[in-house]
Amino acid sequence: MNNAFDPASAAGLSERSRKLVERRTALLGPAYRLFYNDPVEVARAKGVLLYDSEGHEYLDAYNNVVSVGHCHPRVVAAISEQLGTLCTHTRYIQEGILNYAEDLLGTHADNLKHVMFTCTGSEANDLALRIARHYTGKRGIIVTDEAYHGNSDLTASFSPSLGAQSPLGTWVRRVPAPDSYRVAPDQMGPMMAAHVAKEIEDLERRGEGLAAFIADSMFSSDGIFSHPTDVLGPVRDVVHKAGGLFVADEVQSGFGRSGERLWGYQRHGIAPDIVTMGKPMGNGYPVAAVALSPDIVKNFGRDNRYFNTFGGNSVAMAAAQAVLNVIRDEKLQENSLRVGKMLRDGFAELAKRYEQIGDIRGSGLYVGLELVKDRASKQPDAAAAAAVVNGLRARRVLISATGANANTLKIRPPLVFSEANADRLLSETEKVFAAL
């Protein structure tokens, strides 16, 4: 995993950290990972700030789940009030879920008229692909090279970013992400569509056929590729021609993250057949969803029943409604656009002085800085990325790294990140680059 703490280096930690890390390993087992060479202990948070047990403040430029800010009072109040009134599941009539469903679907493409609720993005993608397979009668799934879509058996099977030891389904095919740093923008859409067409041919030849193509329109785990935005249209055409479904995974790029539009797929001017959502949807309360066209889920509903004990419960809906209201009332999409641009402009200034910054990407408050050994070769520099991530952590500013080569700085703060916060991030980053 990118930016993972290596337990072999625990001896170098403070006594408190070392003991906590040992206790974690003893209790939680070997599969968990911590961030940073010196893992951060967090005790409380507010807005874009995290605090450790000694009260030290950290600037959070990484966490997208708490997109309206850590512990937003309106979300906290909505959750607490609902928890003290009623918290039960979807087998009773409740108006809250209907009001939220109406509100949420109103923000989406016209064809998306139903929404089904889950607790996690993994569950949403799992359900989306089960429905796509039922609808198409096919098994094949196409994803990008370093995609991550979840941790269930099905979704892990089409999440290559879990690493070479994590098995992929025999019905999974991978295509390169749209690497705008290395491929000319006008070639990108046709190139990606051609890759997808080739993989469809292979799936058909092996008797799998295509159920769905699924992608995060910002290609987060592939290294954050936000432009050009005429890439997914040609892909959708090829997918539809083969009878497959286009699934937009909005777990990362949705709810205003891109600044430009509420949903990432809207930036590509397409209407997906299925959209999955999660992470920031409840600002930390587990709530996720699948929105889809009625014709796609019609026979699935005839042949199956859907129940999810916690998905769509009264409190989940109250949390999600409060989040959507705050995004609109506080104009957070607009803030994302403005502050995101300010960050990219600031990094462009830094890039004039630091050759390692090869490329600056992203949209809104999703920023990727690809670090390279030199700009001529564009050779990935994972060591520089790790040094910047850990250098910032030492200065109590939290970001991480992404991409197949772990060389792209991943900056993805809560959407309430202000201009002053951006200034602080830029000046701290400058100091870290100066010390490299």
Q: Interface with ligand PMP includes 69 (CB under 6 A)? A: no
Under the criterion CB under 6 A, does residue 282 sit at the interface with ligand PMP? no
Hey, what are 324's tokens? 């959507």
Within 342-381, which residues bind ligand PMP (CB under 6 A)? none
DSSP structure string for 363-374: ETTEEEEEEBS-
In what helix (H) or strand (E) does residue 96 lie, and over which residues does it extend?
A: helix 95-106
Shortest distance in whole angstroms from residue 215 CB to ligand PMP: 9
Name the residue nearer to ligand PMP (CB basis): 150 or 223: 150
Q: Which of 17, 82, 90, 125 binds ligand PMP (CB under 6 A)?
A: 125
At closest approach, how far in Å is the CB of 118 from ligand PMP? 9
Q: Give the nearest distance from C-beta 53 to ligand PMP in angstroms.
A: 26
Q: Which residues contact 352 (CB under 8 A, 6 or more apart)?
A: none
Q: How many residues bind ligand PMP (CB under 6 A)?
A: 15
Stretch near ligand PMP under the rule CB under 6 A, chosen from 7-15, 73-81, 121-129, 355-363? 121-129
Joined together, the tokens standing for residue 192 give 């990606």
CB of 148 to ligand PMP, least distance (A): 5
Q: Which of these ranges, 108-116, 117-125, 320-328, 388-396, lies near ligand PMP under the rule CB under 6 A? A: 117-125
What's the closest the beta carbon of residue 125 comes to ligand PMP, in angstroms? 6
Q: Which of 222, 249, 273, 428 binds ligand PMP (CB under 6 A)?
A: 249
Query: 120: alpha, beta or left, given left = phi > 0 and alpha = psi -120 to 50?
Result: beta
User: Of the candidates 60, 216, 222, 370, which one interacts with ligand PMP according to CB under 6 A?
Assistant: 216
- Alpha-carbon distance of 89 to 86, in angstroms, equals 10
DSSP calls for 168-202: PPTTEEEE----TTTS-HHHHHHHHHHHHHHHHHH
Asked whether position 17 contacts ligand PMP by CB under 6 A, the answer is: no
Q: What is the DSSP string of 334-363?
A: HHHHHHHHHHHHHHHHHHHH-TTEEEEEEE
Residue 254 in the binding site for ligand PMP (CB under 6 A): no
Residues in contact with ligand PMP, shown as a per-residue x/- string from 148 to 167 under the rule CB under 6 A: xxxx----------------
Residue 410 in contact with ligand PMP, rule: CB under 6 A: no
126 contributes a contact to ligand PMP by CB under 6 A:
no
Q: Do β-strands 400-402 and 408-411 pair in parallel, antiparallel, or remain unpaired?
A: antiparallel
Query: For residue 338, what are the contacts with CB-CB under 8 A and spacing of at least 6?
Result: 259, 419
SS3 276: strand
Interface with ligand PMP in residues 174-193 (CB under 6 A): none
* Phi, psi angle pair for 211, to nearest 5°: -85, -50
User: Using the rule CB under 6 A, is 393 a contact of ligand PMP?
Assistant: no
- Smallest separation (angstroms) from ligand PMP to the CB of 184: 26
If one asks whether residue 259 binds ligand PMP (CB under 6 A), the answer comes out as: no
User: Order of strands across the sheet with 114-118?
Assistant: 114-118, 288-292, 274-277, 245-249, 210-215, 140-144, 172-175
Least Å distance, CB 363 to ligand PMP, is 15
Give me the least distance between CB of 329 and ligand PMP, in Å please: 25
Q: Does 146 bind ligand PMP (CB under 6 A)?
A: no
The CA distance from 272 to 289, in Å, is 15
Closest distance between ligand PMP and the C-beta of residue 121, in Å?
2
Between 96 and 278, whose beta carbon lies closer to ligand PMP?
Answer: 278
Q: Tokens 């790294």 correspond to what residue?
A: 401
Structural contact between residues 211 and 138, judged by C-beta atoms closer than 8 angstroms: yes
Which positions lie near ligand PMP, rule CB under 6 A?
120-122, 125, 148-151, 216, 220, 249, 251-252, 278-279
